[in-house]
Structure 1
Amino acid sequence: MNAATGVTAGHGAGEFAGTGTLLRLALRRDRVLLPVWVLAVAGMVLSIPGPVRDLYDTAAERAEFAASITTNSSLRAMYGPAFSDSVGGLTVMRVGVFAALFAAVMSLLVVIRHTRDEEESGRQELLSAACVGRRAPLTAALLAAAVANTAIALLITAGLSGEGAAGALALGLGVGGTGMFFAATAAIAAQLTGSGRLAKGLTAGALGTAFVLRAAGDSGTADGSSVLTWLSPLGWTENLRAFADERWWVPALFAAAVLVQGYVAYRLAARRDLGMSFLPTRPGPAVGSLSTAGALAWRLQRGSLYGWGGAFLAAGIVFGGITTGAADLVGNNESTQEILQRMGGASGITDAFLGTMATVFGMVAALFVVSSALRPHGEETSGRAEPVLAGAIGRVRWAGGHLVIAFGGAVVLMLLSGAGLALGYGRDPAAVLGAALVQVPAVWVLGGIAVLLTGVSPRAAPLAWGVAVAVLLVGWLGPAVDLPSWVLELSPFGWLPRLPGEGMRWGAVLLQLALAAGLVTGGLAGLRRRDLGTG
């Protein structure tokens, strides 16, 4: 079907016909996921000022902490420089880049979900048979991303206004602007590629490149002036300098970049047929080579595992390299020591830091295992599972191929993160690897929840993301805000021994392994009994 088919007018308003309806449909479909993303990103920022004020309750302590960040190139690469030693300035330094990063991830997922994924599933062709203009789907997707990023910006501005209205607005604009930058990048990727998976990969690659450029620039300069920093939109966010002599011309960079990318995306959309792409899918071999469900799952998920693995190894080396300076960074600040001990163990700052980083890697690995374990759900809802299951293959074997990648991949990721930490730290490799691998049972529990929800109902499966995000927030922010221990133990990571400083607790590890096995068994049993696409 030609992209122009079904458009009542070739130019003007006819090309945008149905945009409002498609926007309402997109917001309805994402009525759970978008609020979760918005609250998670905004909550991440708003949870920081209180602990900062508690940890560094005098101007001298805040100035000393800001100086320790500014003079440490590894910490600048991770967080960015501290342009101000106020509570608001330290909040921006601590979480500004990461908030912008998460807003970008949310935006690219939203845009690709409502553009390339819709075309790939065939739903967009049905919608375009009605009075829907050729530019309406792309416009609705960008507007949905704009709604979410505007909500994040407003929440950050309102929540931080007590630290300074101008700084709060600047940070909100920076985080929302970064989200919209990558929403527009995803819009271009959706036109270039023939699959949503490849579009997400290209946009995620651009986001990863932006993070590396910013990190490289900030590691070399303490004032954000590096050319590499300015080449990254994440660098624009920090160079907006919220709470530190704001540069109000920087948001114009975001606006210009979004407009230019949007123009390119619309031009590309106008030059292709619906369902087609500028980067056609490479044809497979004349004789098929995928003889098992596991081989098919590997073909579909290997690119994702390679990308995650490379990122875990590189991040492990970076964090391992700053481990020896952890004690100097914390100094004699008792509150900071308590946070590290609550998260990583009470056997010394260095061991506590290693334990903390291993836990963080575990929580991030949980996002991979949930994504990978939900792959059968994506295959089912897109209609690709039925032709596979029409052959001589059972549902358990089919889903099992993907679950081997999910759960085995989690082990690989934790091995790579542990190896990176050991390489960067340069000592006690066995203890560091043990600290990383002990996180695997908790990661598997979250993967098991995803399998169980998929087996119960396709509609329930996306709730696994809500569980994973909640665990991430509790584990990351809980120790900083001194949540009660029973709240921290609602997360499976709260049950685990905090290696390398503490002793091994085999009972907790075996209990979580048994729980994960039970969840997977229940999910596969549910998948066998229900009809595909129902439940």
Structure 2
Amino acid sequence: MRTLAGTGHLLRLALRIDRLRLPVWVAVLALMPMGTAAQYQQLYPTDESLQIVSGVVSNPSLVALNGPLFGLSIGGLTAWKIGITELVLVALMSVLTVVRHTRAEEESGRAELLGATVVGRAAPVTAALLTVALANLAIALLVAATVVGVGLPAGGALALGLGVGATGVLFGAVAAVAAQCTRSARTATGIGLGALGAAYLLRALGDSGPVALSWASPIGWALRLRPFAGERWWVLALFAAATAACVAAAYALLGRRDLAAGLLPERPGPAAATPALAGPFALAWRLHRGVLLGWVVALALAGAVFGGSASSITDNLDANQNLVDVLSRLGGTTGILDAYLAAIFGITGLTAAAYTVQATLRLRAEETSGRLEPLLATRTGRSRWLLSHLLFALLGTALLLAVAGAAAGVAYGAQVHDVAGQVPRMLADVLVQLPAAWVLAGIGVALFGLAPRLTALTWAALIACVMILELGALLGLSQWVLDLSPFAHVPHLPGDPFTATPLLWLLAVAAALVGGGLAGFRRRDIG
């Protein structure tokens, strides 16, 4: 048990470090289902109104997006609407938390200092996993309690909470495995998020095609726990088995590597740098290219999946005003197909913005790792260095949106025999999301330059945008709250008329934020 010595102390340290961050995550994830359920009780007070909803949400395209509706009730509709969002966010929270308390601590050198005390080798990983487990347990119990509080059945509420919590714990274990494989916290986070993206795509393909693919995805398992629709409690055993396997793998890999090293082999570089690395822009390209390539593949696959599903959006639906109104309540605009595409492109914009934030925060990672100071000791200036990384955050986001739009256009165009017409159309529709994503980059740069210790709050800005998109209209939030999200000002294409004015304002805001951050960075101390 000496390898676990000091676990309790590290657990208390982790909880202290996250004393503000984790309570926000827990509160948001716990209150979202309650708010959704309360709003649906007002929107659909009778069984007749629910019958109209069933005709919409059973459409193959919406099933690919949100999963199947297993039970026609307020509880079942709540689980359908909020389930995917909850599962993705709780997995994101768990991945970031585990990597922050394991691989990031080793990368910064703090883990080595702690290792010189009475701390066992497995204690940091164990403390990180316990931190995530406690956070997810709190989320599960609070989800169940708050949903019961608005009058829904206790069994379904408990199943919904446990599905969310079990998913978070599993992805925390996946992140623990990723932390053993690489020496970079950024790469470990990328591996964890890549696993999350793969699970989402498998679930989407399985729900709209071979159901076996959904059973290969932890997100599919959580949905098939079937809250409020004849709960399948045995599905929790799948989570337990997978989590135990990942935890065992993490401990086994931990014993086979050195401290601050990863299991994935590192290729030694050449003795002298090539001309391709002459300058900060070349170095930034070298640092960003791997992550950018992974995002390109993921967005291309997602665009192809959802573009291919668009052709079936009008199948089995009668084009009457009631159905259009229901779809509008679920987040659409005008027209069934346009509403689906606008929703897809909005989600694509937020997904690409996650890369924007990740690439922008590389600035802070380079500074805290100690690599920035020797670089600035050369002829490289501060502004040039910052702009070199910002270039890949901005242009990389544009590339991701273009790839997703092109893939969606090809997939949809092939089914309607109009590839040449649909590709440019969908490219234009998705690229309007770019200025909103650039505002998040501006927020990241502003925090980096003016308040570097708060740079991680850029992720909070992205999560707030996701919440507003998913639940803003449904919960009837005030317009000024909705307007806080830059994505709320983007034209919802296709469907809405295109107006350039809000896009120009977003670009101006992004430029002002970048300018402020750059000015602050040029004047503050490094460290």
Taking structure 2 as the reference length, the TM-score comes to 0.90
* Percent of residue pairs bearing the same amino acid type: 49
The residue type paired with residue 239 of structure 2 is F
Q: Say whether residues 1:259 and 2:247 are aligned partners.
A: no
Which position in structure 2 is the counterpart of 1:480?
474
The residue type paired with residue 459 of structure 1 is R
**Of 160, 184, 189, which residue of structure 2 is paired with 1:195?**
184
Per-residue deviation, residues 261-303 of structure 1 (Å, max 9, x unmatched): 2223223223333123322322222322321211211221122
Cα deviation for residue 388 of structure 1 reads: 1.8
The residue type paired with residue 510 of structure 1 is L
Distance 1:97 1:343 in 2: 15
Distance 1:312 1:429 in 2: 15
Which position in structure 2 is the counterpart of 1:3?
none
Q: What aligned pairs does 1:350-369 form with structure 2 within 5 A after superposition?
A: 350-369=337-356
Work out whether residues 31 and 146 of structure 2, in 8 Å CA contact, stay in contact via their aligned partners in 1. Answer: no
Per-residue deviation, residues 59-115 of structure 1 (Å, max 9, x unmatched): 244345335544x44433332222211111122222323322221222122111111
Per-residue deviation, residues 156-179 of structure 1 (Å, max 9, x unmatched): 111222211111111111111111
Q: Say whether residues 1:23 and 2:11 are aligned partners.
A: yes
**Of 359, 374, 378, which residue of structure 1 is paired with 2:361?**
374
Per-residue deviation, residues 21-62 of structure 1 (Å, max 9, x unmatched): 211222222233323333333344333223433444332443
Work out whether residues 356 and 394 of structure 2, in 8 Å CA contact, stay in contact via their aligned partners in 1. Answer: yes
Q: What aligned pairs does 1:128-207 form with structure 2 within 5 A after superposition?
A: 128-161=115-148, 162-207=151-196
**Of 215, 229, 244, which residue of structure 1 is paired with 2:204?**
215
Q: What aligned pairs does 1:43-62 form with structure 2 within 5 A after superposition?
A: 43-62=31-50
1:406–1:474: structure 2 CA closer, same or farther, 3 Å change rule?
Answer: same
Q: What aligned pairs does 1:357-506 form with structure 2 within 5 A after superposition?
A: 357-426=344-413, 427-506=421-500
Distance 1:340 1:287 in 2: 59
Distance 2:214 2:330 in 1: 34
Which position in structure 2 is the counterpart of 1:7?
none
Distance 1:337 1:116 in 2: 48
Distance 2:165 2:329 in 1: 34
Which position in structure 2 is the counterpart of 1:104?
91
Work out whether residues 56 and 323 of structure 2, in 8 Å CA contact, stay in contact via their aligned partners in 1. Answer: no
**Of 286, 294, 297, which residue of structure 1 is paired with 2:271?**
286
Which range moved further: 330-339 or 402-411? 330-339
Work out whether residues 431 and 499 of structure 1, in 8 Å CA contact, stay in contact via their aligned partners in 2. Answer: no
Work out whether residues 52 and 322 of structure 2, in 8 Å CA contact, stay in contact via their aligned partners in 1. Answer: no
Distance 1:207 1:507 in 2: 36
Work out whether residues 330 and 336 of structure 1, in 8 Å CA contact, stay in contact via their aligned partners in 2. Answer: no
Work out whether residues 66 and 90 of structure 1, in 8 Å CA contact, stay in contact via their aligned partners in 2. Answer: no
Which position in structure 2 is the counterpart of 1:5?
none
Q: Say whether residues 1:314 and 2:301 are aligned partners.
A: yes
Q: What aligned pairs does 1:524-535 form with structure 2 within 5 A after superposition?
A: 524-533=518-527
Q: What aligned pairs does 1:63-78 form with structure 2 within 5 A after superposition?
A: 63-66=51-54, 68-70=56-58, 72-78=59-65
Mind listing any 5+ residue stretches in structure 1 that lack a counterpart? 1-11
Work out whether residues 7 and 123 of structure 2, in 8 Å CA contact, stay in contact via their aligned partners in 1. Answer: yes
1:488–1:259: structure 2 CA closer, same or farther, 3 Å change rule?
Answer: same
Q: Say whether residues 1:519 and 2:513 are aligned partners.
A: yes
Cα deviation for residue 256 of structure 1 reads: 2.6
The residue type paired with residue 87 of structure 1 is I
1:417–1:278: structure 2 CA closer, same or farther, 3 Å change rule?
Answer: closer
Which position in structure 2 is the counterpart of 1:9?
none
Aligned partner of residue 481 in structure 1, secondary structure: coil
Which position in structure 2 is the counterpart of 1:42?
30
Q: What's the RMSD between the two structures over aligned residues?
A: 2.5
Count of matched residue pairs:
515
Mind listing any 5+ residue stretches in structure 2 that lack a counterpart? 414-420
Distance 1:491 1:201 in 2: 25
**Of 291, 295, 312, which residue of structure 2 is paired with 1:304?**
291
Distance 1:391 1:305 in 2: 27
Distance 1:214 1:443 in 2: 26
The residue type paired with residue 408 of structure 2 is L
Distance 1:217 1:438 in 2: 30
Distance 1:331 1:475 in 2: 25
Aligned partner of residue 40 in structure 1, secondary structure: helix
Q: What aligned pairs does 1:90-101 form with structure 2 within 5 A after superposition?
A: 90-101=77-88
Distance 2:5 2:121 in 1: 8
Distance 2:283 2:375 in 1: 10
1:341–1:325: structure 2 CA closer, same or farther, 3 Å change rule?
Answer: farther
Distance 2:174 2:330 in 1: 40
Cα deviation for residue 523 of structure 1 reads: 0.5
Which position in structure 2 is the counterpart of 1:340?
328
Work out whether residues 53 and 323 of structure 2, in 8 Å CA contact, stay in contact via their aligned partners in 1. Answer: no
Aligned partner of residue 21 in structure 1, secondary structure: helix
Taking structure 1 as the reference length, the TM-score comes to 0.89
Which position in structure 2 is the counterpart of 1:6?
none
Which position in structure 1 is the counterpart of 2:21?
33
Work out whether residues 82 and 93 of structure 1, in 8 Å CA contact, stay in contact via their aligned partners in 2. Answer: yes
Per-residue deviation, residues 184-214 of structure 1 (Å, max 9, x unmatched): 1221222222222332233333333323333
Aligned partner of residue 388 in structure 1, secondary structure: helix
Distance 2:477 2:57 in 1: 26
